[in-house]
A = this chain, B = another copy of it.
Amino acid sequence: MSIGKLYGIGVGPGDPELLTLKAAKIIGKTDIIFAPKSRDGKPSVALSIVQEVLDERTDEFEVLEPLFPMIEDKNELDKHWNEAANLLLEKIKEGSDAVFITLGDPTVFSTFSYVAEKVESEGIELVIVPGITSFTACAAAANIQLTAQNDIMAIVPQVDERLSKILPYVDTVVAMKTSRHLDILEDCIKNDPREKSVISVQNCTMENECVVDGFVYNKQYFSTSIIKFNKK
């Protein structure tokens, strides 16, 4: 019996139509669907995005939903990642191909990175299928350009003192999950003397999508702000 392989598939920001043809094809025929969820009792967002593809399947497949809690405790996290990776490894070694679905793209701040390393270190073949990243979807929703010509863009997941160092030299900043660090972000942006525009997008391409000028002061998890500086 041969060993299976692992697909790391980005399912995009939320709208099921933003799946790629390749993602839909692979998700439509692979034995094991691995869909991380952040909380027991709460369905996986990634899984809801591919539900329609799964509903159309007439063959047999298995959906596994390991718990990837959003916690800070490194040891506790490691425990969860190891459990998830071991479960995946077991299935793959039994000969099944598996898909690990992840919001956005599997190479950009993705839960996939945590298990990919371990699975790959065991010699399992890994195939990554890129997905629509949240920040390009946010720009599309806001009807703005992220970058043109020789613009430099910085993608910042957690604002710290480094942002003020790079800010004078970049044209576009994408601040992700802004609700976690809005105070320091806003200060930092305010102190830049250039003309700027700020647009924030919450729950991009999801049912409750919201696009506003400026920053947003609620605690929505899926919050992204795009800051663009004028060149002159």
Given A150-B157, A152-B156, A155-B152, residue A17 in contact with residue B20 (CB < 8 A): yes
**Cβ 8 A contact of A154, one of B20, B131, B166:** B166
- Name A26's closest neighbour in chain B (CB-CB): B17
Q: Size class of A's contact patch? A: 35 or more
CA distance A149 to B158 in the complex (A): 8
Q: Are B155 and A165 in contact (CB under 8 A)?
A: no
**Cβ 8 A contact of A149, one of B24, B105, B109, B170:** B109
Known: A108-B136, A109-B151. 7 other contacts (CB 8 A): A10-B136, A108-B153, A128-B141, A149-B158, A152-B157, A162-B169, A166-B169
Interface residues of A, Cβ cutoff 8 Å to B: 10, 12, 15-22, 24-25, 105-110, 113, 116, 120, 126, 128-133, 136-137, 139-141, 143-158, 160, 162-163, 165-166, 168-170
